[in-house]
Amino acid sequence: MKNMSKVMTADQAVADIPSGATIASVGVIGWVTPERCLEALGRRHRETQTPADLTLYLPVGTGDAMEIKGMDHLAQEGMLKRIVSGSYINPVHPKTGKRPELMRLIRENKIEAYSWPIGASMHWLREVARKSPGYLTSVGLGTYIDPENGGGKFTELAKDDLVRKMDFEGKPYLFYPTWNIDCAFIRASTADEFGNLSWEDEALVSSNVALALAAKACGGRVIAQVRRVVPRGSRPATQVPLPGVLVDAVVVDEAQMMVTQTPFDTGYLGGQPMEPVIAALPRMPFGADKIVAWRAAQEMRTHELSILGFGASSDMPLVMAETGQLDAQTVRDYWFTTEHGSYGGVVMSGWQFSANVNPEAILDGLSQFDLIDAGLCRFAALAFAEFDDEGTVNVSRFGTANPGAGGFIDIAENARRLLFCGTFTTGGLEVRLEDGQLRIVKEGRQRKFVARASHITYRVRDGVARRAQEAHIVTERAVFRVEADGLVLIEVAPGIDVQTQVLDLMDFAPVRIDPALKPMDLSTFALQTCMTSQDLLTTADA
């Protein structure tokens, strides 16, 4: 019988990828990243200068640009012509002090770089798979992805209009035309010799299945990286979401990392008792970020599907657990999720963000954004880098950072209640808590309440006025309510001078100060359990 095994080395799998091809890859930071395949492709170019002039399509930023380099393996001049990504990764490497090479190529205008909202980057794959003309959506109108505001172009070399604005039945929409994918890199846990794939060791599914379907619809190849190979027919069919007929090559990496700093942890797969899970959660050091997370957590409601974004928002469950708001019983009443489809358990922060500890269910990426765009996540807690006088929030492009919107636009536009969380200023902010009073030891270098945001990620005031959204901004020293005509200051931390430490540090004035301006009740911060003598002073750069 002819050997039907598709198992090969990573170098063999990428050997025939031609110059000018369009490569797509899965990955959510470090989660489900096909690191060995991306590494092999990058190595091939370094050694042979081929393939060149590639287009790279990433529904989500892939890899951490450090131990799981992901997309950074391909960040070589001449290798990439264009990149389209739902988000970008821009950390400082703790050992080298350098930013990712891909970010350098973008900053120096070396490649064509585009940033799409993750909702569009996911849903677009479905249209490619069914050979439709493109993806039509109203999500993102008026934001940076709107052609009237740049169309998602992040470099001057990005000349083509990959997003168009058009009318359909008298209403404006954004249209993302489809184009071919020549090769997709995906990642699973287990394959057999024929390529039937299962994800039993992965905390996220993301766009794996969608990428395979899209590539095959275009006549392209699918390369799957897995942890192990088992005999064909050894698993129940109900455990195999992707059939081997859609897979062309299988690359085995027995040591593939689950996520950054985590080779493998069954805690991210669910099915465990909650008591030890809650007890093992890390504690945040005291600082401005912790105050923000604590105050934001007071806006959480039980039995309300709540989606938490990256940054201070994802710290909320950790502080809730530390202060007793969240325990092994009440955790079942808080319905946590993230934009990447993990449900139940506890949302994690930092490099582990995107997946939940001890989840109860996991949706694939496209289905999760179907749910988000349907408005089923009633409450959303998100970060902010800038907020301006017109009610525009920016998280997508500021200073030298080009992270893109991620899932922010879809989430913000479709949630009913919005909470924007972050420090009042950033860049070296130092705070101290003394006798229940907040002291600003050192002010941050950059203001975040600016006259005009440098990028339009979402127009919050429009959402309040046109879609009856409720929106608040929580910082360590002040809380604002967003109304149709502007910001209303409703709460200030004890010890903070409203004029010199709030109003004078804003490039615009709130439309009013609530007559019932309240002090932030820091006495309920449970200081006895939240602080130790050595962490009273800290630096926040949220």
Based on the domain organization, do 277 and 227 belong to the same domain? no
Work out the average pLDDT over 219-234.
98
- 420 inside domain: yes
C-alpha span between 235 and 239 (Å, rounded): 7
Q: What is the pLDDT of residues 92-143, one digit of tens each?
A: 888 888 899 999 999 999 999 999 999 999 999 999 999 999 999 999 999 9
**Helical pair 118-129 and 365-373, crossing angle rounded to 10 deg:** 120
Which of 187, 162, 168 is CA-nearest to residue 27?
A: 187
* Percentage above 70 pLDDT, the chain: 96
Count up the domains in the chain and report the number.
2
For the beta sheet containing 80-85, the strands, ordered from the edge strand earlier in sequence to the opposite edge, are 7-8, 249-252, 221-226, 183-187, 22-25, 54-58, 80-85, 112-115
Per-residue pLDDT band for 542 (boundaries 50, 70, 90) equals: very low
Report the CATH number at residue 123. 3.40.1080.10
Helix (H) or strand (E) holding 212: helix 208-217
pLDDT at 358 over 80: yes
Work out the average pLDDT over 216-234.
98
Res 268: pLDDT? 97
Query: What's the N-to-C CA distance of the chain in angstroms?
Result: 60
CB 375 within 8 A of CB 436: no
What distances in angstroms separate CA 284 from CA 126, 281, 324, 535, 536, one per listed residue? 40, 10, 14, 10, 12
Long-range contacts of 495-503 (CB under 8 A, 24+ apart): 495/434, 495/436, 495/437, 495/438, 495/439, 496/438, 496/440, 501/440, 501/477, 502/424, 502/477, 502/478
- 139 inside domain: no
pTM (two decimals): 0.95
Based on the domain organization, do 423 and 522 belong to the same domain? yes
Task: Give the mean pLDDT of the chain.
Answer: 94
By the 10 Å C-beta count (0-12 exposed, 13-18 middle, 19+ buried), 465 is classed as middle
Based on the domain organization, do 181 and 329 belong to the same domain? no
CB 113 within 8 A of CB 156: no
Cβ contacts of residue 99 below 8 Å, gap of 6+?
65, 90, 91, 92, 93
> What are 329's two structure tokens?
């019983």
Res 2: pLDDT? 56
Question: How long a stretch of residues is the chain?
Answer: 542
* Percentage above 90 pLDDT, the chain: 91
- 152 inside domain: no
pLDDT at 538 over 90: no
Q: Are strands 478-483 and 470-474 parallel, antiparallel or unpaired?
A: antiparallel
Work out the average pLDDT over 496-520.
97
pLDDT at 398 over 70: yes
Cβ contacts of residue 95 below 8 Å, gap of 6+?
none
Cβ contacts of residue 528 below 8 Å, gap of 6+?
none
Res 530: pLDDT? 47
Domain edge (last residue) among 217, 252, 287: 252
Work out the average pLDDT over 271-285.
94
> What are 205's two structure tokens?
């599914």
- 168 inside domain: no
Cβ contacts of residue 539 below 8 Å, gap of 6+?
287, 428, 429, 430, 442
Active site residue 339: yes
pLDDT at 484 over 80: yes
C-alpha span between 71 and 56 (Å, rounded): 9
Based on the domain organization, do 248 and 295 belong to the same domain? no
- 156 inside domain: no
Work out the average pLDDT over 34-41.
98
Per-residue pLDDT band for 218 (boundaries 50, 70, 90) equals: very high
- 260 inside domain: no
Domain edge (last residue) among 199, 221, 252: 252
**Half-sphere exposure (Cβ direction) of 295: Cα atoms closer than 13 Å:** 28
Based on the domain organization, do 357 and 217 belong to the same domain? no
Q: What is the pLDDT of residues 369-381, one digit of tens each?
A: 999 999 999 999 9
Based on the domain organization, do 199 and 285 belong to the same domain? no
Based on the domain organization, do 507 and 367 belong to the same domain? yes
pLDDT at 278 over 70: yes
CB 205 within 8 A of CB 364: yes
Other CB atoms within 10 Å distance of the CB of residue 338: 25
Per-residue pLDDT band for 526 (boundaries 50, 70, 90) equals: very low
- 153 inside domain: no
C-alpha span between 107 and 521 (Å, rounded): 43
Helix, strand or coil for residue 355?
A: coil
Based on the domain organization, do 222 and 288 belong to the same domain? no
Per-residue pLDDT band for 539 (boundaries 50, 70, 90) equals: very low
Res 400: pLDDT? 81
CB 541 within 8 A of CB 476: no
Q: What is the pLDDT of residues 405-446, one digit of tens each?
A: 999 999 999 999 999 999 999 999 999 999 889 999 999 999
C-alpha span between 408 and 117 (Å, rounded): 7
| Three-state SS letters, 482-504 | EECCEEEEEEECCCCCHHHHCHH
Work out the average pLDDT over 224-250.
98
DSSP state of 57: E
> What are 430's two structure tokens?
């130092």
pLDDT at 84 over 50: yes
Based on the domain organization, do 247 and 286 belong to the same domain? no
Cβ contacts of residue 454 below 8 Å, gap of 6+?
386, 394, 397, 398
Res 524: pLDDT? 59
* Structural domain span for residue 83: 7-130+177-231+241-252
C-alpha span between 85 and 160 (Å, rounded): 15
Cβ contacts of residue 106 below 8 Å, gap of 6+?
88, 113, 154, 155, 402
> What are 261's two structure tokens?
């700093």
- 315 inside domain: yes
Based on the domain organization, do 246 and 276 belong to the same domain? no
| Residue from 112, 299, 339, 491 carrying the catalytic annotation | 339
Based on the domain organization, do 412 and 478 belong to the same domain? yes
Per-residue pLDDT band for 525 (boundaries 50, 70, 90) equals: low
Based on the domain organization, do 208 and 276 belong to the same domain? no
pLDDT at 513 over 80: yes
CB 325 within 8 A of CB 316: no
Helices of type H across 22-68: 35-48
What distances in angstroms separate CA 511 from CA 85, 144, 425, 526, one per listed residue? 37, 26, 20, 33
C-alpha span between 339 and 226 (Å, rounded): 24
Cβ contacts of residue 461 below 8 Å, gap of 6+?
390, 391, 482, 483, 484, 485, 486
> CA quadruple 287, 290, 295, 296: dihedral positive or negative?
positive
Res 540: pLDDT? 41
